[in-house]
Amino acid sequence: MIGAMTVRHLPLLLVLVLGLAVSACRSSASPPTAARSPGLAAGLEAGMFPNSWSRPGIEVAAAPLPPERVPTAHTWLTRALAVYPPGFVEQNVERIHLLGALSFRGVDAGGSNSRRRLYVVVPRGPGAEAYFRRVVHAEFSSVLWRRHRALLDLDAWVRGTVPGFRYGASGAAAVRHGLADAQPTTWALQQGFLYEYGMSSIENDFNSYAGFLFGDPERLAAFAAQHPGVAHKRALTAAFYRALDARFAFGVASAAPPRAP
């Protein structure tokens, strides 16, 4: 979950479902299989959230994306997903929900995910598309993390943080305690993190790197040039995606020197 309304009953609206044709990519290779494109929903649907989210304490609430904002959101999403090799998104995602708002326990979120579904809020204001792009990649990375966790060397990952660091209890706990800032700070970078929320769990830390690796690679490269811990995790994130699909090319060294224990 990135970034996150008191529960209230929202009217179920008709949903706009589109087929996403995700074909643009730096690679010219053909997709390995003819996978079905994920559905795109710009409204609220019955059963759109997993049953587990109805348990007490989750308190999920959402608002549909206004119809007039759908074309812009579709353009942003198409541009964001174009960085993946042909067929990659289709093989791993079955539905993408574009929302006007999303919250857990009354705290606004920029996005979330479950199984093979992504839930992404379409923001407004300066830098909105860039933030949206990072959220898409971060939430997608959680879907991949759950299915291919063994591809990320967790022992190596923690060597990118300061000695003695311990992750928090969970992202939900970080939200409850007001520790969910998702803006890079010098202090966080010096610890081997991109921002405070990444300290809540290894998964959220990994999400942050995936979001910047695909959504703002130049900025991530600049951070890595100044902070060895960031360079270390950036290289491990790139290696995870290369292990999933050899067509990924990031211009990142295959390995970064680990920190001394």
Instruction: Using pLDDT thresholds of 50, 70 and 90, give the confidence band for residue 197.
Output: confident
Q: Give the least confident one: 10-14, 22-26, 188-192.
A: 10-14
Q: What was the pLDDT predicted at 10?
A: 28
pLDDT at residue 8 greater than cutoff 90: no
pLDDT at residue 180 greater than cutoff 90: no
Question: What are the CB-based long-range contacts (under 8 Å, 24+) for 11-19?
Answer: 11/44, 12/44, 12/45, 12/46, 13/43, 13/44, 13/64, 14/43, 15/41, 15/42, 15/43, 15/44, 15/45, 16/40, 16/41, 16/42, 16/43, 16/67, 16/70, 17/41, 18/42, 18/74
**For 46-71, what is each residue's pLDDT tens digit?**
999 999 998 887 889 999 999 999 99
pLDDT at residue 255 greater than cutoff 50: no
pLDDT at residue 248 greater than cutoff 50: yes
**For 130-175, what is each residue's pLDDT tens digit?**
999 999 999 999 999 999 999 999 999 999 988 888 887 655 554 5
What is this structure's pTM?
Answer: 0.80
Give the domain ranges of the chain.
17-147, 150-244
